[in-house]
């Protein structure tokens, strides 16, 4: 099932480092397929995602698979 997320891209320097998204809903999301174009600290994004059952060593956020995305300009 697909769902939309708005949030900010973050880089966490834990366990070797990883990229994540802090949603405006207060949740943390861990993309298993983070596109290179989104790997910009602080970028505001809107993504369409699906839940992922892929395991992660990071123990952080909900694992998701990004289906579509776009960045939201800062004002």
What pLDDT was estimated at residue 16? 85
Q: If we measure between CA atoms, which residue out of 44, 34, 42, 39 comes closest to residue 67?
A: 34
The per-residue b/e assignment along 40-75, b for 16 or more CB within 10 angstroms, e otherwise, is eeebebebebeebeeeeeeeebbbbebeebeeeeee
In the chain the domains, ranked by start, together with CATH numbers, are 2-72 (2.40.50.500)
Confidence grade of residue 75 (pLDDT, cut at 50, 70, 90) = low
* pTM of the complete model: 0.89
Question: pLDDT per residue over 11-68, tens digit each?
Answer: 999 878 999 999 999 999 999 999 999 999 999 999 999 999 887 777 889 999 999 9
What pLDDT was estimated at residue 56? 78
């Amino acid at each position: 099932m697909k769902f939309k997320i708005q949030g900010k891209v973050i880089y966490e320097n834990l366990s070797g480092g990883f990229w994540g998204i802090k949603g405006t809903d207060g949740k943390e999301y861990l993309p298993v397929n983070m596109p290179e174009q989104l790997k910009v600290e602080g970028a505001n994004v809107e993504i369409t995602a699906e839940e992922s059952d892929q395991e992660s060593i990071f123990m952080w956020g909900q694992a998701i698979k990004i289906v579509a995305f776009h960045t939201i300009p800062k004002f």
